[in-house]
Amino acid sequence: MKFLDLAKVYIRSGGGGAGCVSFRREKYIEFGGPDGGDGGKGGSVWVEAVEGLNTLIDFRYQQHFFAKTGQHGMGSQRTGKDGDDIVLKVPVGTEILDEDQETLIADMTEVGQRVLLAKGGNGGWGNLHFKSSTNRAPQRANPGQEGVERTIWLRLKLIADAGLLGLPNAGKSTFLAATSNARPKIADYPFTTLVPNLGVVGIDGREFVVADIPGLIEGASEGRGLGDQFLGHVERCSVLLHLVDGTAEDPVADWQTIIHELEAYSPVLAEKPRVTVLNKIDAIDPETLEERKTALEEAVGGRVHLMSGVSKKGVPEVLRALWAQIGRGKPAQDEGSEWQP
């Protein structure tokens, strides 16, 4: 299944059916009077968050969604049938944006959440409604109300507890494969990860979701490489795991590159809690490792964890550090007890 996180769709609710002009005509009834029925209500367009979806690929092949028009009213006081609604089913984490791609209409964060995007038009009144003491045979009826037509954007932001950041080949996919059942593509060349991946990670009897996104490079905010188009998938995360390749010539410069791109994309994202890790320590001699760790800690201004995704050395400590940040925003595990990291 292909991954798609942005889609443009066109929606239109159904118009209401027109009211009917009709008069009762029966044998032996001299003054039958008006009996025109009302038009049916037009169908509405809804959006619903459902389980089992993690991409918007369905909206690449169908972009137009038009609800049914209400049926016209009929004689003998018969009301027209209401038009059927249309429901757009989207993954949890989808944002509904207006045509300007800035105005947020709805944020679908829970399974079963439903939002009305375009209300169907009301049906018109039949001539029975216009009967009065002075107008016993009205010749008028209302047309149905027109439907609403609009263009919207669907933007998917994966819901994860922790997000992976780093330059290409920093070891993000290796870390995800080593700690979860996810099987992202792993190779010894840059940009092996082309789309975000999710994995469920467990430590000390607790589980949380980790999102791996394609690597950033210098100038990503200006569109270089794959750009920063996937950074939106880590905006909902409680903590960011920043992996720095310990075998690189200048790990501090690599760290600064990612921080600069985060700040250029969103100051809010740049201020999120981060766990910084010097990765691939099994390929570095102890003396060089200590020098690079010290230099990186000075740049970060805090602790730097050591880890090897291949040998899994230091992985449990990194997972515990992530959970310590995630757990701050989660409710207590047991009723009446406080969470303990």
In the annotated binding site for GTP, the residues are 166-173, 191-195, 212-215, 279-282, 308-310
CA 119 – CA 184 distance, rounded (Å): 42
CA 170 – CA 165 distance, rounded (Å): 9
Amino acid at residue number 274:
R
| Count of Cβ atoms closer than 10 Å to residue 164 Cβ | 27
Cite the annotated binding site by residue number: 166-173, 191-195, 212-215, 279-282, 308-310
For residue 279 the two structure tokens come to 């990765």
Q: Are 25 and 131 in contact (CB under 8 A)?
A: no
At which residue do the structure tokens 């993690």 appear?
A: 54
Q: Report H helices in 228-279.
A: 251-265, 267-270
Cite the annotated binding site for Mg(2+) by residue number: 173, 193
Q: Report H helices in 98-137.
A: none
Most distant CA atoms of the chain, gap in Å: 111
Cα 257–262–265 angle (5° rounding)?
125
Pairing type for strands 149-156 and 94-97 reads antiparallel
Nearest to 96 by CA among 87, 109, 105: 105
For residue 94 the two structure tokens come to 């989808």
DSSP 8-state symbol, 233: G
Q: Which SS3 state, helix, strand or coil, does residue 105 take?
A: strand
Taking the CA atoms of the chain, what radius of gyration do you get in angstroms?
30
Q: Are 165 and 234 in contact (CB under 8 A)?
A: yes
Beta bridge pairs of residue 198: 211
